[in-house]
Amino acid sequence: MIRALYERYLLNQINGMQGQIPEHITMILSESDLLDDSGKEKLGAFLKWCFALEIKIISIYVDVLDVKEEAKTKIVSLLLDELKEIMAPLPENVGFDIYNEKGELIENKVGDTHRVHFSVGFGGKNEITKAITSILHDVKDERLRPADIDENTIESHLTVREEPDIIIRAGGKHLSNFLLWQSAYSELYFTDVNWHGLRRMDILRIIRDYQKRQRRFGK
């Protein structure tokens, strides 16, 4: 009862603030966060909390840097299967794409109101490298002149085009190798609770904190 009242209080504060709800939110997870039933349920709940707040774009990055190399292929395969299972019951208006550790699109669905980007181990360094390689091919095939290459060119070749408004790391103290180009001006938030302990009220607190910040976009 007390939690419900507090959540309503937070929601009223959010709705009463002049600051905008973030359009694009990113969550950084570790592989252990998702490899059990409670982790999967939490991800499904997190997505629904974001949808209810009218957050249009959600990026989920599953970090597999700490996984031993000999076990990585199996772990990535398990995680990809888990993500497919989580996305299956979501509403038709929610579109999504799932990328493996090589940046290959393995599954996607078109949606008209919300978009979810999933990346398992495909980090920002690889994404930028892949974009530059693609640009070099365009130059070689004379579809692009070197003199015409600018920031917009690189951005048009990235896997995820949208820039996150806020990046969240649950229960962590450092960010991971994800959306490096896109997150240049993103707000950062590190939670005190780990992924399994994350609650709706924690997300509401994060949104309220975001609304209170003065974004400078590098100025």
Q: What is the pLDDT along the chain (219 residues), one digit of tens a residue?
A: 788 899 899 999 898 886 789 999 999 998 888 888 888 899 999 999 999 999 999 999 988 866 767 677 888 888 888 888 888 888 889 999 999 888 899 988 998 899 999 999 888 898 999 999 999 999 999 999 999 999 999 999 998 889 999 999 987 667 778 888 999 899 999 988 899 999 999 999 999 999 988 777 655
3-class secondary structure, 38: helix
Q: Which residue has the tokens 């995820």?
A: 160
Q: How big is the chain, counted in residues?
A: 219
For residue 201, give both structure tokens. Answer: 């009220």
**What are the start-end ranges of the H helices in the chain?**
2-16, 31-34, 37-52, 69-87, 124-140, 151-156, 200-212
- Tell me how many helices (H) and strands (E) the chain has: 7, 7
Q: Which residue has the tokens 């992924």?
A: 195
pTM, to two decimals: 0.88
Tell me the residue type at 84.
Answer: K
